[in-house]
Amino acid sequence: MARSGLHALAEAVLLPGFAGTSAPDWVRERIADGLGGVVLFGRNIVDDEQVAALTAQLRGERDDVVIGIDEEGGDVTRLDAATGSTLPGPLALGAAGDLGLTAEVGTALGARLAACGVTLDLAPCADLTLTLDDPIIGVRAFGADPYAAAAHVAAYVRGMQSAGVAACAKHFPGHGASTSDSHFTLPVLPRTPDELDAVELVPFRAAIAAGVRSVMTGHLVVPQWGPDPATVNPTAILEVLRGQLGFTGAVVTDALEMGAVAGHLGNAAGLADAAVRSLRAGADALCIGGEIADADAVAAIVERIVAEVHAGTLTEERLAEAAERTRSLGVPPHGGVTARDDVELGMAVARKALRTSHLPALSPEPLVVDVEVEPTIAAGHVPWGLGPHLVELLPGARAVRVTAAQPGELFDLARGREVVVTTRDAHRHPAVLDLVAGLVRTATAVVHVETGTSGPDLGTLGRIDTFGGSRSSLRAAAEVISGSSVSGLARHTDPTGLADR
């Protein structure tokens, strides 16, 4: 029998994660008793068929359960965490500069999620790529120009929601000017409210005008809004997002166990405190479980919310409002839209996004060096690298994977050879910059393939920017290098405008 009263309302606002590829007993029991829903992570996914079976299992407990996923495409993928995404991410879409393609990608991803039974996609990023020092957004945003990015955000939202899957514009009020990662510390945005209104808030306005059904708050401080991050700040949510921007849908929090609000990852007391503070500030659906995924944490939060209502520090009316808005994200998706094949669409975007510079004709036997760096916590460990693609297209090529800290025999292998070196945000890793410089000194010619945010020129003979590390983006770069698909590829400017900074 479903729980009643305050406990049921407290359950209804929570979207926890869990471990495993089928729903554990505690999740199914709580959904039957009114738990708002769940968020799926890479650890929950084998393939689309398994996800569909999992969501059917969850929906068997209650029809309106919210089933969310953090599927941005490109570098941040959950459905394709084991293989890498076929669809390029936002920065590649921004580089391609084709709103029709962006809408197609949103539609294709929405159709796929609908077939998997997902009701809420925690995408797209409405952030901007505003500084090379940003450690967490980068290729996840559509670019630096607020109006160009806004048009892509709106196209993506419309495409996604045409399949009945709720989109979620994030991370309000915009993470792109930050130089710290809110997974660990509390970023302070160097912005006045007027500056935010003219820059960061532009894509969020576009998402709202496009009918986006949810907006995710970021754990970010705007000093003139007070010392609290947006997720727990009533000025941010009630005065700006709802009042100034006119948003009436569901406000979803970023993961509450993140260090910016919970103190540090895994702090149960901080998590319960963050849950109550976010509800008081006007948030509706509370995401937890990226790092904490167990029944005890959920129970502790429920009891704390109920206790706060009894103490008069959180009203029952506010809790009921949040529960109703959260339930609105559990409408089963209708699907039924026609979408282009993901592989064909992904390659169309990737080829149009590429920027090439002084690309030389290479021999059929280059050394291909993939330089691995630790991925962001948002992306996680997803297959990446140019080597397998280029070896397939140029069987004489030799591929190696190294880290900058342990290059092994790399420079001996590179001496006197042509080298293709692939990096991800090389500008953020001094050791990677040193490694590329060493290759320039050692090899007869070096082509640099940058799969992250476009940084400064590193003195190589040729360069390709893919604006993301999706399988399609890497394949498109391999095509150009191998000479198999050079004709018809246009050159494009850097959508971030940061490369020469």
Catalytic residues, which ones?
A: 183, 254
Q: Which of 81, 8, 16, 23 is nearest to 53 (CA)?
A: 23
Residue 465 DSSP one-character state = E
28's enclosing H/E stretch is helix 25-32
Order of strands across the sheet that contains 355-357: 355-357, 462-465, 445-450, 418-423, 367-372, 398-403
What is the distance between the alpha carbons of residues 248 and 242, in angstroms, rounded to a whole number? 6
Whether 301 contacts 14, CB under 8 Å: yes
What is the distance between the alpha carbons of residues 324 and 402, in angstroms, rounded to a whole number? 51
Q: Which of 267, 290, 288 is nearest to 44 (CA)?
A: 290
Whether 479 contacts 351, CB under 8 Å: yes
**Prior bond to 173 cis, omega within 30?**
yes
Dihedral of alpha carbons 338, 344, 346, 351, sign: negative
For residue 223, the one-letter residue type is P
For residue 491, the one-letter residue type is R
Distances from the Cα of 484 to the Cα of 177, 392, 475, angstroms: 39, 12, 11
Residue 73 DSSP one-character state = B
Q: Which of 44, 98, 37, 96 is nearest to 71 (CA)?
A: 44
For residue 450, the one-letter residue type is E
CB atoms near residue 311 (< 10 Å): 8
Produce one character per residue of 20-48: b if its CB has 16 or more CB atoms within 10 Å, e if not: eeebeebbbebbebbbbbbbbbbebbeee
Residue 131 DSSP one-character state = -
Burial class (CB in 10 A: 0-12, 13-18, 19+), 405: exposed
The CA-to-CA distance between both ends of the chain, in Å, stands at: 61
Distances from the Cα of 119 to the Cα of 71, 169, 325, 483, angstroms: 12, 15, 14, 42
To 10 degrees, the CA torsion angle through 177, 179, 182, 184? 180
Dihedral of alpha carbons 68, 74, 80, 82, sign: negative
Q: Which of 266, 478, 500 is nearest to 392 (CA)?
A: 478
